[in-house]
Structure 1
Amino acid sequence: MPIVLSTGCDEGSTYVASDDGGGDASVAPDGPVDVRPDSGVEQEGGMTPPEPTVVEYEVACGSGEMYWPEEQDEIRWSVHCAGELAAADGLPDGASFDPSSKSIVWKPRLDQAGPFEIVVTDVDGGRTRIAGNLLDRFDAPDNVPVVDPVRYLHEHGLPVIHLSWHSDEPQYCRDAVARDPVPADIIVDGVAHAGAELRCRGATSLAFPKKSFTLRFTKDAPFHAPPSLAAFEGRRRLVLTQTFDDNSQIRTRMGFETWSRLDPANIRIDHASVVVFVDGVYQGLYQLTDNVGDHLMAARGLDKDGNIFKSVSHAGNYRTSYNNGKAKTDLKDGYEKSDGEPEDDFEDLETLLRWVSESSIEEIEASIDAMLRTEDFLDWYILMTTLLAYDNYGKNSNVYRDSDGPDTRFRYIPWDLNATWGQSWDTKRVLPTAAGKDSPAPLAHNGIWERIAESPTLLARLDARFAAALAGPMSLVETLALFDRMSAEVRPSALRDDRRWDAERRAYPLWSSRKDLTTFDTEHAYLRSWIEQRWTHLAAFYLPGQASGVQLER
């Protein structure tokens, strides 16, 4: 039985970048998405690759839609024009045009992945455009790498980033060893970036078979962004985050977008979904984000020479003692300095830690708005406790300070949001009702939050801001709308990612004992339900009367 797709396209498939105060740099199309019903069959041990199939597209006369078939499919476009058809220009190699049946038939080879554009002309001069990108059938036994990465630009409307690197280490980015950056070929939208570099990144994730990358670009050849990634134009550092431990494909993006929505003055992390190929070989769906560093600070109107400190372990708890109460002999234990000179100067951080731990509560209340942009740190609490992001209560955080600038307050910047939205760092499920308003865990891991909670005045300020967020930019309605939009945007590509990684994901030792492993679709059913339950749980504490119209303080 052939698959008949009446639209067969991503209507309006150019994704327009957003820079309206949120960080979402990728917007889903308005039209229907061409999702192959044969995206793989779930069975014991993972997904089985789909067999090539007959795909029939019904094309309206005069349309100009986008199509995303795969190599080896038997493709048939039936063009519905009232008059006779005269010609079809731009036929790919192996395709044929039959004017009597008003159809084009094509069974592409495994070396033909890339764009195509066919223009059908009728006897009256009318034109019907049939265009798109023939997708690489990466799991075919005899498949070959993409022949021309300069021309292979999109998959299901998402931009493709092509990577290759040059290293004397045969295992570079193939084992679990962190190494220095190496020269790399980075091709985006047909543009090769001269002088670019790449390195693999991560801690636990460095051992994953699907790697994360930091991309580095030169001053003379910064990131060239296609229209769908315009928010990243001119960047010098970007991060490609793997989704091996998040087959929802959107947890990180959902977190960063929610952070931006809480307050437009928060330091925004732009984000988008992209497809990655390495040496012409499909690697799957990734989350592209800003890199937290001096260039991002400059892009946000802050001094690029300010200091950025990152909490890299639970010892980085924003106090002068460990979580067990033992005093630290080295206050910088648990942190690294990611930007700022001199590299070994932690004076700003130590000033913050001593202020947190040694000030009286009266001194905290009197000086907090001079020491911190307090809204950053309240929103940090709101976001991470809402998402039950235990791994982000203290660690996986960045603080920035421009100590010799006009605004010397500390700023907060989020990072590493895979252990959120109902899963832990090792993908285990987290109950949506696991913690409520007065859970002690966040305060135990974060000295700043602990001091805020000690002050009735500051705690009331936090509670009011939390309630305003749940009634406004982080409401259940807004959050589910964001979730549904991102889910629709990535689903066609996510199903291909499932085909590539599902078996290895299920077999990975860190979570292979789980009996509740999911595919993209079942993970999204779980995640949507989790959001509904979590928000209902929080509303009982912060919105008992379902307050509305509350405005965030600025």
Structure 2
Amino acid sequence: MSLILILLFSLSFNSCSFMNSPVLPYENQEAMGLPVFYIHPKPISKDFYSPATVIYKGKSYDAEARIRGGFTAYSPKKSYTIRFSDSDLFNDPELGSEGFTDRKKILLVADFDDNSHIRNRLAQKIWEMMQDQGGGLYSSPVIQTDSSVVYTNGSFEGLYTVIDAVNEQYFDRYADSSTTPSLDSVEMTSGGNLYKGDTREANFYIKNELYDGFSKKMGTPESGNRGAYDDLTDLILFVNNSSDDEFADASDGFSTMASVESYYDWWFFSSFISAGDSMNKNAYHYHNPHGLWYFLPWDYNQSFGQNYITKRKSPSFSKYAQSQNGIFKRLVNHPGYETAQNSRYSEMLDTALELDQILAEVDTLWDEVQEAAEADWDKWGKEYRSYEWWENRDDFTTPREEVDYIKMWITSIHGQAKSQF
């Protein structure tokens, strides 16, 4: 209680740099139309968690927090992982598309390298649109996102993307259809293995150590123990060593090991939004116990017309640019799968991924975050333009201009994809 009183006292004498008005008191649940996370003290390290009080919608959580990210952890505006107590998990049934209830972890992503603040959410939404089977059912796992305002140490920190953590609890929810009925179409059970591609070596090609580039995030045996990566190495060996006939065999081929649509969609999705940094690393791979492998999308600041240091990338969709990834090389254009998938993507571009529908989603996301994005730009715009990794750019945009750029880019890439399917 004393900490909260100190914080409230501090807040009453601070002012927001973006509006020259008092910082919102902790009991305020929204700012600029978005929910607010109040964090104190501000996390100080990416290497360890430190105690933090998190106040959200009038409730105080005794939690832990750390700075998150690799390259982005060193940018002026930090991203955070919040870890809640087992006895007091985070709850907001209105956050995201399914609700964030009983969450051990949530991720608050700064999007310092995306001044539109919509790329991560738009990418995950497009993946969700691709997996939508109707009636709220999905053919591959989807990841919830939302947007929020964050205050640290009593001061406005900015606009953040809230992302659901992919962990044991995430897959337990998939396995429990009574908890998440709209995800019941994906055959999930608790206790599988989860891997994340951390470097470009996570490309499903043969290497000295087959699992180089991957880290094991979940499952047994745990990383560091004999056999920890056996199922992953078996998949990599099969992808590289099977003949075309063996690869497409209905009883023993790739379709008996992994969801063909999930992995084919990984290639199409990453190509469609030009997520070059996610063709090998920045991807999750979940192996159902005694079941199939599934892909889960992750980390899309490099997408929709910019690279990882915000340099502009012209729209260019090619059906045949699949060599970055061993699965893509085997799966894409394979005569056993190509015809059906080409037909599927052709239909998808006219339905789930119809251009006006995607552009409407961009507008919806921008409407949600516009006020907060402009406030964030007032606070961080100067640091963004002068940041050493991209300070030599001569084509900086405001947040609104960046959204217009994304819409123009999507319009062009959509036309290219349509012409090829």
Does structure 2 conserve the Cα–Cα contact (< 8 Å) formed by 1:470 and 1:476?
A: yes
The answer for the alignment partner of 1:265 in structure 2 is 139
The counterpart of 1:421, out of the listed 304, 315, 324, is: 304
1:334 aligned onto 2:213? yes
Distance 1:273 1:166 in 2: 19
The answer for the alignment partner of 2:31 in structure 1 is 155
The answer for the alignment partner of 2:368 in structure 1 is 489
**Deviation string, structure 1 residues 64-122 (Cα, Å, up to 9, x no partner):** xxxxxxxxxxxxxxxxxxxxxxxxxxxxxxxxxxxxxxxxxxxxxx9389xxxxxxxxx
The counterpart of 1:225, out of the listed 74, 92, 97, is: 92
**Deviation string, structure 1 residues 27-47 (Cα, Å, up to 9, x no partner):** xxxxxxxxxxxxxxxxxxxxx
**Deviation string, structure 1 residues 447-498 (Cα, Å, up to 9, x no partner):** 1111013521212232122212211111101101101111111111111011
The counterpart of 2:318, out of the listed 425, 432, 436, is: 436
Summarize the alignment of residues 98-113 of structure 1 with structure 2, pairs less than 5 Å apart: 111=12
Distance 1:249 1:185 in 2: 26
Residue 228 of structure 1 deviates from its aligned partner by 4.5
The answer for the alignment partner of 1:452 in structure 2 is 331
Matched residue type, 2:145: H
The answer for the alignment partner of 2:185 in structure 1 is none
The counterpart of 1:364, out of the listed 247, 259, 262, is: 247
Summarize the alignment of residues 201-240 of structure 1 with structure 2, pairs less than 5 Å apart: 201-225=68-92, 227-229=94-96, 231-240=99-108
Matched residue type, 1:421: F
Matched residue type, 1:423: Q
Summarize the alignment of residues 88-167 of structure 1 with structure 2, pairs less than 5 Å apart: 111=12, 137-139=16-18, 148-149=25-26, 151-165=27-41
Aligned sequence identity (%): 29
Distance 1:305 1:219 in 2: 19
Gaps of 5+ in 1: 1-109, 114-135, 321-327, 543-554
Distance 1:218 1:111 in 2: 29
Summarize the alignment of residues 463-474 of structure 1 with structure 2, pairs less than 5 Å apart: 463-474=342-353
**Deviation string, structure 1 residues 304-326 (Cα, Å, up to 9, x no partner):** 42111111111110122xxxxxx
The answer for the alignment partner of 1:288 in structure 2 is 162
Distance 1:396 1:331 in 2: 18
Distance 2:77 2:213 in 1: 27
Residue 280 of structure 1 deviates from its aligned partner by 1.0
Q: Secondary structure at the match of 1:137?
A: coil
Residue 399 of structure 1 deviates from its aligned partner by 0.5
1:190 aligned onto 2:58? yes
Q: Secondary structure at the match of 1:341?
A: coil
Distance 2:231 2:61 in 1: 36
Does structure 2 conserve the Cα–Cα contact (< 8 Å) formed by 1:396 and 1:416?
A: yes
Distance 2:412 2:163 in 1: 28
Residue 144 of structure 1 deviates from its aligned partner by 7.2
Distance 2:229 2:312 in 1: 37
The counterpart of 2:152, out of the listed 278, 303, 321, is: 278
**Deviation string, structure 1 residues 104-161 (Cα, Å, up to 9, x no partner):** xxxxxx9389xxxxxxxxxxxxxxxxxxxxxx523578x8765x42x13211210001
Distance 1:382 1:504 in 2: 35
Distance 1:155 1:296 in 2: 28
Residue 341 of structure 1 deviates from its aligned partner by 2.3
The answer for the alignment partner of 2:3 in structure 1 is none
Distance 2:105 2:190 in 1: 13
Does structure 1 conserve the Cα–Cα contact (< 8 Å) formed by 2:284 and 2:295?
A: yes
Going from structure 1 to structure 2, the CA distance change for 1:226 and 1:185 (only over 3 Å counts) comes to: farther
Distance 1:454 1:485 in 2: 35
1:522 aligned onto 2:405? no
The answer for the alignment partner of 1:309 in structure 2 is 195
Gaps of 5+ in 2: 1-10, 132-137, 176-187
Residue 181 of structure 1 deviates from its aligned partner by 1.7
Going from structure 1 to structure 2, the CA distance change for 1:226 and 1:276 (only over 3 Å counts) comes to: farther
Summarize the alignment of residues 3-22 of structure 1 with structure 2, pairs less than 5 Å apart: none
Distance 1:399 1:226 in 2: 27
TM-score between both structures, scaled by the size of structure 1: 0.67
Q: More helix per residue: 1 or 2?
A: 2
TM-score between both structures, scaled by the size of structure 2: 0.87
Going from structure 1 to structure 2, the CA distance change for 1:182 and 1:308 (only over 3 Å counts) comes to: same
Distance 2:42 2:279 in 1: 38
Q: Secondary structure at the match of 1:313?
A: coil
Distance 1:139 1:482 in 2: 27
1:402 aligned onto 2:288? yes
Q: Secondary structure at the match of 2:332?
A: helix
The answer for the alignment partner of 1:58 in structure 2 is none
The answer for the alignment partner of 1:355 in structure 2 is 238
Residue 226 of structure 1 deviates from its aligned partner by 6.1
Does structure 1 conserve the Cα–Cα contact (< 8 Å) formed by 2:189 and 2:289?
A: no
Q: Secondary structure at the match of 1:511?
A: coil
Distance 2:397 2:300 in 1: 19
Distance 1:472 1:449 in 2: 24
Q: Secondary structure at the match of 1:400?
A: strand
Matched residue type, 1:378: Y
Which structure would you say has the larger Rg?
1
Distance 2:413 2:241 in 1: 36
Q: Secondary structure at the match of 2:67?
A: strand
User: How many residue pairs are counted as aligned between the two chains?
Assistant: 385
